[in-house]
Amino acid sequence: MPLPDSLRTVVAVAVYWTAIALGGSVLLPDPTSPLVAVPILGGGAVVAHAARTDRLVPLGYAVGTMWLAVLALSIGTGVVDVVAPPAGEIAPLADYPGIAAVGTVGLIAVLVAAYGAFVRRSAERDAGEPA
């Protein structure tokens, strides 16, 4: 028995918003930091736009792109820690408040830019198809 479209949309919105909130706040050292509003509200705005304009597929690609940026940050930090360690150990990125703030805002910027690019690509593809 297929799911109704409204239930599918609600589930997709919940999954995407959770993925954005978790991925966008990965660099925050304190989960009660005021910066947690950036991924929650920014992600909510992007998800709401995607749900209203029926662009959940491009949103999925954008969320995947944001998680690729999280992966790149993780790998990059690990490589720097192994290849070029300073006198001591490199502290996690989240221990530096400036990096945590820039990284959190940067991850949401990656999400918004990727969402815009995937929506534009989808619109161009739809415009090229005969009706």
- Per-residue pLDDT, averaged over 12-20, amounts to 95
Instruction: Say what the pTM is.
Output: 0.84
pLDDT tops 90 at residue 14 = yes
> What's the pLDDT at 128?
79
How far is Cα 52 from Cα 62, in angstroms, rounded to an integer?
A: 16
Higher pLDDT, 90 or 130: 130
- Per-residue pLDDT, averaged over 20-43, amounts to 88
Domain boundaries, the chain: 5-128
pLDDT more than 90, % of the chain:
53
How far is Cα 87 from Cα 109, in angstroms, rounded to an integer?
A: 33
Residue whose C-alpha is closest to residue 111's, from 75, 73, 61, 40: 61
pLDDT tops 70 at residue 94 = no
